[in-house]
Amino acid sequence: MALRLLHFADLHLGIETHGTFRPELGYSTRVQDFLAAFDQVIEAALAEQVDVVLFAGDAFKNADPSPTLQRLFASRIQRLLAADIPTVLLVGNHDRPRSLARSTPMDIYEALQLPGVSVVSRPACLTVKTRSGPLQVVALPWFPMTAFLVDEQLRQAPATELERTFRELVSRTVREHLASLDPSHPAVFLGHLTLEGGEFGAERSVLLGNDPVFALDELGLLDAPIDYVALGHLHKHQVLHDRPLVIYAGSVERIDFSEEREEKGFVLVTIEPGEHPRQVNWSFRPVRTRAMRTLRFDLTTETPMDELQHALERRTAELQDAIVRLFLRVPPERASALRPNDVRRWLLELGAAHVAGILVETERLSRPRVDVSQETRHDPVSLLERWVSLRALPDEFARAVVARGRQLIERAETGEPPSANS
C-alpha cells in the first residue's frame, strides 16, 4: 500500500508586521492571515486522508510565543490527532531558545506524551506507525554550533575550525542514523537546515549567523535508503534534487515584501510500495494567501495628487485585499503637494487591506520622505524595511539587512541579551 504524507514548514506564527492589531482577538490581522494558511494545510491533510504530516520547523516567530498563539497552534494539531493522522514536529531555529537548557514551545507535546505527536528537538531516528505501515524518519532539527561544541578549547578556536568541527559532528550524527534504516520500509529525512543550492529569501540572515551550508553527499543522503528529503528553513519552495527527491516546502505565508512574488503552500508526497529505490510522486499545493503589492509611480504633472489618484483607480484590481506599498517619484518643487494621509485613505477606499508604506523620492541625491503613520510609528520592523528600501541596496543584501534586523528586534522585544556574535 502506498504511503501518503504532507510536508509543510516555516509557519512563523506570531508575525504581525503589516497588519492591524485587533484588541478583541489579542493579536494582529496578520496573525489571522497565517492562521488561515495553516488551516488550509490542515484541511488538505484531512481531505486527502494522508498517512502522516511532517512539519519541518519554525512554528512560531520566536521561542517565547504567547499562550494564545500556543493554543491556536495546538488546536489545529488536535484536529490531526482526532483524525488519527500522526504528526512529526521538528524544532527550527525560531523555535530554539538561545539557552539549550530552556524548553522549546513544542516540548509540551512530548511532556504530555500525546499519542500520535512526535517532537524532535535533537537529532533522531524514529519509526512512525501509520495506517499504511511504518515510516522511518531521520530528523535533524536546527542546532546552534554551541550545542555540539562543548569543549572549551574548541570555543576558543578560530571560526573556521569551529565550523569544520561542527560540520563533521553533524555529518557523523546524520550518517549514524541513516545507517540504522531498514531498506525494506519507506524512509524520509526531515531537516531544518541550509542545503547547497538552496535559494534564500527573507531568511538570508542565517548566513550572518554562522549557519553552515551542507551538501547532500556530505550528510550521506545520496547513498542512504532515503525516499524523500523534507526540508524547512528556506522560505522559497524549491526542488534541489531528483533522486532522492529533495524539496523545501517553503513558508506558508509571505513574511515580508522580499517574498512578494513567491507562491506559498505545502507538498503532498506518495511513496509507492516495494524495495528501495521506490517510486515517489509529489505535487506542490498552493494555499490562498494575502497578496503583497509594490506599486511605483513617476508623477510628472503639475498636479501630482490628481495624477496619482487617477493612476490608482486604474489599478484597483491589484489593490483588492492586498498589503500595499507605494514608491512615488516626484520633482522636488512639487513634493510638498503630496498628501500621504490622503493617499493612504484612497488606497484603503479602493480595497487595500493594509498600507505598508508610502515612500516619496524627489531626486536621487535628496533625502526621501517616508510616511510614518501612527500605527507604524511603533513598528520597528516596518521602519527598518522602509529605511532599507530607500538606500538602493542590492536585493539580496537588502533582504539580509532586514532579516538580521528583525532577528535582533525580536531578541530585544523578548528581553533576550545579545550574544557575542550578534
Instruction: Give me the domains of the chain, ranges plus CATH numbers.
Output: 3-286 (3.60.21.10), 292-391 (3.30.750)
Contact 189, 119 (CB under 8 A): no
In 56-168, the DSSP E strands lie at 87-90, 117-120, 124-130, 133-140
Q: Which three cell numbers stand for residue 12?
A: 512563523
Q: Which three cell numbers stand for residue 45?
A: 491533510
Q: What is the pLDDT of residues 99-148, one digit of tens each?
A: 666 788 888 887 787 889 999 999 999 999 999 999 999 999 998 766 65
Q: What is the pLDDT of residues 273-285, one digit of tens each?
A: 999 999 999 999 9
Q: Which helix (H) or strand (E) holds 232?
A: strand 228-232
pLDDT at residue 375, as a whole number: 46
Separation between Cα atoms, residue 230 and residue 399, nearest integer Å:
25
Question: Cα angle at 159 between 158 and 165, to 5 degrees?
Answer: 95
Any idea which of 11-25, 255-269, 292-306 has the lowest mean pLDDT?
Answer: 11-25
CB neighbours (10 Å) of residue 150?
A: 8
Separation between Cα atoms, residue 258 and residue 385, nearest integer Å:
10
Separation between Cα atoms, residue 269 and residue 186, nearest integer Å:
12
Contact 251, 11 (CB under 8 A): yes
Separation between Cα atoms, residue 44 and residue 118, nearest integer Å:
20
Taking Cα atoms as reference points, which of 96, 159, 88 lies closest to residue 120?
A: 88
pLDDT at residue 208, as a whole number: 38
User: What pTM does this model have?
Assistant: 0.83
Contact 58, 11 (CB under 8 A): yes
pLDDT at residue 422, as a whole number: 43
pLDDT of 151 over the 90 cut: no
pLDDT of 351 over the 90 cut: yes
pLDDT at residue 396, as a whole number: 64
The band of 205, judged by pLDDT with boundaries at 50, 70 and 90, is very low
pLDDT at residue 206, as a whole number: 38
Higher pLDDT: 333 or 408? It is 333
pLDDT at residue 402, as a whole number: 76
Exposure string over 300-339, b if 16+ CB within 10 A, otherwise e = eeeebbebbeeebeeeeeebeebbbbbbbbbeeebbeebe
Q: 174 by DSSP, 3-state: which?
A: helix
pLDDT of 387 over the 90 cut: no
Higher pLDDT: 155 or 220? It is 220
Contact 287, 37 (CB under 8 A): yes
Where is mean pLDDT largest: 110-114, 151-155, 288-292, 409-413?
288-292
The answer for residues whose C-beta is within 8 angstroms of residue 337's C-beta and 6 or more apart is 303, 304, 305, 330
Any idea which of 41-45, 157-161, 190-194, 219-223 has the lowest mean pLDDT?
Answer: 157-161
Any idea which of 166-180, 200-214, 268-282, 349-363 has the lowest mean pLDDT?
Answer: 200-214
What are the contacts of 373-381 at 24+ separation with CB within 8 A? 373/344, 375/20, 379/17, 380/409, 381/17, 381/405, 381/406, 381/409
State the Rg of the chain over Cα. 23
Give the whole-number percent of the chain exceeding pLDDT 70: 84
HSE-up of 292 (CA within 13 Å, CB side)?
20
Instruction: Name the amino acid, one letter, at 248.
Output: Y
Q: What is the pLDDT of residues 179-203, one digit of tens each?
A: 999 999 999 999 999 999 998 765 5
pLDDT at residue 421, as a whole number: 44
HSE-up of 252 (CA within 13 Å, CB side)?
31
